[in-house]
Copies of this chain bind each other. A is one copy, B any other.
Amino acid sequence: MKRKTIAIDMDGVIADVEAQFLLWYERDYGVKMTKAELIGKTDETAFPEADAIRKFVTTPGFFLTVPVMDGAVEAVKLLSEKFEIYIVSAAMEFPLSLSEKLEWLGKHFPFISWTNIIFCGDKSIIDTDYMIDDHLKNLDFFKGQAIMFHAFHNVEHTHHIRVDNWDAVIKLLKDV
Protein backbone atom coordinates (compact mmCIF):
# COMPACT_ATOMS: atom_id res chain seq x y z
CA MET A 1 0.00 0.00 0.00
CA LYS A 2 1.22 3.46 -0.87
CA ARG A 3 2.33 5.31 2.23
CA LYS A 4 0.62 8.57 3.12
CA THR A 5 2.69 11.65 2.42
CA ILE A 6 3.49 14.69 4.57
CA ALA A 7 4.95 17.99 3.31
CA ILE A 8 6.91 19.55 6.17
CA ASP A 9 7.95 23.20 6.06
CA MET A 10 11.40 24.32 7.22
CA ASP A 11 11.34 27.87 8.64
CA GLY A 12 9.25 28.01 11.80
CA VAL A 13 8.55 24.27 11.75
CA ILE A 14 11.79 22.25 11.78
CA ALA A 15 14.06 25.33 11.81
CA ASP A 16 13.55 27.63 14.78
CA VAL A 17 13.80 30.95 12.96
CA GLU A 18 12.14 32.76 15.88
CA ALA A 19 15.03 31.73 18.12
CA GLN A 20 17.49 32.84 15.45
CA PHE A 21 15.73 36.21 15.08
CA LEU A 22 16.03 36.77 18.83
CA LEU A 23 19.69 35.74 18.91
CA TRP A 24 20.63 37.96 15.98
CA TYR A 25 18.56 40.89 17.25
CA GLU A 26 20.40 40.87 20.53
CA ARG A 27 23.73 40.46 18.75
CA ASP A 28 23.15 43.30 16.25
CA TYR A 29 20.96 45.73 18.22
CA GLY A 30 21.90 44.91 21.81
CA VAL A 31 18.30 44.31 22.86
CA LYS A 32 17.33 40.98 24.40
CA MET A 33 13.75 39.98 23.72
CA THR A 34 11.75 36.80 24.27
CA LYS A 35 9.47 34.60 22.19
CA ALA A 36 6.57 35.71 24.38
CA GLU A 37 7.07 39.32 23.29
CA LEU A 38 6.71 38.38 19.61
CA ILE A 39 3.29 36.75 20.02
CA GLY A 40 0.68 38.26 17.72
CA LYS A 41 3.24 40.33 15.83
CA THR A 42 4.18 40.14 12.15
CA ASP A 43 7.61 40.01 10.54
CA GLU A 44 7.42 43.80 10.27
CA THR A 45 6.19 44.58 13.79
CA ALA A 46 8.07 41.88 15.71
CA PHE A 47 11.06 44.07 16.56
CA PRO A 48 11.53 47.82 17.19
CA GLU A 49 13.74 47.90 14.07
CA ALA A 50 11.11 47.16 11.41
CA ASP A 51 13.49 45.88 8.72
CA ALA A 52 15.55 43.67 11.04
CA ILE A 53 13.99 40.38 9.93
CA ARG A 54 14.26 41.24 6.24
CA LYS A 55 17.91 42.11 6.83
CA PHE A 56 18.62 38.88 8.73
CA VAL A 57 17.11 36.53 6.14
CA THR A 58 19.18 38.08 3.37
CA THR A 59 22.44 37.83 5.35
CA PRO A 60 24.83 34.94 4.56
CA GLY A 61 24.87 32.42 7.39
CA PHE A 62 21.38 33.06 8.70
CA PHE A 63 19.79 29.87 7.37
CA LEU A 64 22.94 27.81 7.81
CA THR A 65 23.10 28.45 11.55
CA VAL A 66 19.45 28.50 12.54
CA PRO A 67 18.73 26.27 15.57
CA VAL A 68 16.71 23.10 15.07
CA MET A 69 13.14 23.31 16.43
CA ASP A 70 12.76 21.46 19.75
CA GLY A 71 11.93 17.81 19.17
CA ALA A 72 11.88 18.11 15.36
CA VAL A 73 14.63 15.61 14.55
CA GLU A 74 13.18 12.86 16.73
CA ALA A 75 9.62 13.52 15.57
CA VAL A 76 10.43 13.58 11.84
CA LYS A 77 12.48 10.41 12.25
CA LEU A 78 9.55 8.72 14.00
CA LEU A 79 7.03 9.91 11.38
CA SER A 80 9.27 8.73 8.55
CA GLU A 81 8.78 5.14 9.73
CA LYS A 82 5.13 5.36 8.77
CA PHE A 83 4.80 8.27 6.32
CA GLU A 84 6.65 9.38 3.21
CA ILE A 85 8.16 12.68 4.37
CA TYR A 86 8.89 15.59 2.02
CA ILE A 87 10.65 18.72 3.20
CA VAL A 88 9.05 21.60 1.29
CA SER A 89 10.56 25.04 1.76
CA ALA A 90 9.69 28.32 0.02
CA ALA A 91 13.37 29.02 -0.54
CA MET A 92 13.23 30.72 -3.95
CA GLU A 93 12.53 34.18 -2.53
CA PHE A 94 16.03 34.21 -1.07
CA PRO A 95 18.42 32.60 -3.59
CA LEU A 96 21.25 32.67 -1.07
CA SER A 97 19.26 30.36 1.17
CA LEU A 98 19.17 27.46 -1.32
CA SER A 99 22.62 26.04 -0.65
CA GLU A 100 22.49 26.97 3.06
CA LYS A 101 19.18 25.17 3.53
CA LEU A 102 20.42 22.08 1.72
CA GLU A 103 23.57 22.01 3.86
CA TRP A 104 21.52 22.54 7.02
CA LEU A 105 19.23 19.63 6.12
CA GLY A 106 22.22 17.39 5.43
CA LYS A 107 23.65 18.26 8.83
CA HIS A 108 20.55 17.98 11.00
CA PHE A 109 18.27 15.65 8.98
CA PRO A 110 20.71 13.34 7.17
CA PHE A 111 18.05 10.63 7.03
CA ILE A 112 15.98 12.71 4.57
CA SER A 113 16.95 11.72 1.00
CA TRP A 114 17.65 14.38 -1.65
CA THR A 115 14.73 12.85 -3.57
CA ASN A 116 12.37 14.14 -0.86
CA ILE A 117 13.52 17.76 -0.67
CA ILE A 118 11.63 20.50 -2.52
CA PHE A 119 12.60 24.16 -2.68
CA CYS A 120 9.82 26.20 -4.23
CA GLY A 121 8.19 29.56 -4.51
CA ASP A 122 4.53 29.24 -3.71
CA LYS A 123 3.33 25.80 -2.56
CA SER A 124 0.13 25.65 -4.60
CA ILE A 125 1.17 22.69 -6.77
CA ILE A 126 2.33 20.51 -3.87
CA ASP A 127 0.14 17.43 -3.56
CA THR A 128 0.56 15.46 -0.33
CA ASP A 129 -1.87 14.01 2.19
CA TYR A 130 -0.76 16.36 4.99
CA MET A 131 1.04 19.68 5.14
CA ILE A 132 2.67 20.97 8.35
CA ASP A 133 3.36 24.68 7.92
CA ASP A 134 3.15 27.92 9.88
CA HIS A 135 1.94 30.17 7.05
CA LEU A 136 -1.69 30.66 6.06
CA LYS A 137 -0.63 31.48 2.49
CA ASN A 138 0.53 27.87 2.18
CA LEU A 139 -2.15 26.14 4.27
CA ASP A 140 -5.23 27.96 2.96
CA PHE A 141 -4.93 26.62 -0.60
CA PHE A 142 -3.71 23.16 0.29
CA LYS A 143 -5.98 20.35 -0.90
CA GLY A 144 -4.98 17.78 1.74
CA GLN A 145 -5.17 18.04 5.54
CA ALA A 146 -3.53 21.28 6.67
CA ILE A 147 -1.80 21.35 10.07
CA MET A 148 -0.79 24.78 11.37
CA PHE A 149 2.39 24.83 13.44
CA HIS A 150 2.37 27.52 16.13
CA ALA A 151 4.26 30.71 15.28
CA PHE A 152 4.13 34.23 16.68
CA HIS A 153 2.51 35.50 13.48
CA ASN A 154 -0.33 32.95 13.28
CA VAL A 155 -1.77 32.93 16.83
CA GLU A 156 -4.94 34.81 15.85
CA HIS A 157 -6.00 32.32 13.19
CA THR A 158 -8.24 29.44 14.12
CA HIS A 159 -9.45 27.89 10.86
CA HIS A 160 -6.78 25.15 10.72
CA ILE A 161 -5.88 22.34 13.11
CA ARG A 162 -3.22 23.88 15.33
CA VAL A 163 -0.20 22.14 16.85
CA ASP A 164 1.95 23.93 19.41
CA ASN A 165 5.03 21.75 19.10
CA TRP A 166 6.37 18.48 17.71
CA ASP A 167 4.90 16.40 20.57
CA ALA A 168 1.49 17.61 19.45
CA VAL A 169 2.22 16.56 15.85
CA ILE A 170 3.11 13.04 16.98
CA LYS A 171 -0.04 12.81 19.10
CA LEU A 172 -2.17 14.04 16.18
CA LEU A 173 -0.74 11.63 13.62
CA LYS A 174 -0.10 8.54 15.72
CA ASP A 175 -3.41 6.87 14.86
CA VAL A 176 -4.01 7.89 11.23
Q: Interface residues, chain A, CB within 8 Å of chain B?
A: 5, 7, 86, 92-93, 95, 98-99, 102, 113-122, 125-128, 143
A30–B117 Cα gap in the complex (Å)? 38
Contact status A125-B118, CB under 8 Å: yes
A69 to chain B, nearest CB (A): 22
Contact status B127-A122, CB under 8 Å: no
* A126: B residues at CB distance < 8 A: 125-127
Contact status B122-A125, CB under 8 Å: no
CB-nearest residue of chain B relative to A86?
B125
A91 to chain B, nearest CB (A): 8
| Given known contacts A7-B125, A127-B125, A128-B125, A93 and B120 CB-to-CB distance under 8 angstroms | no
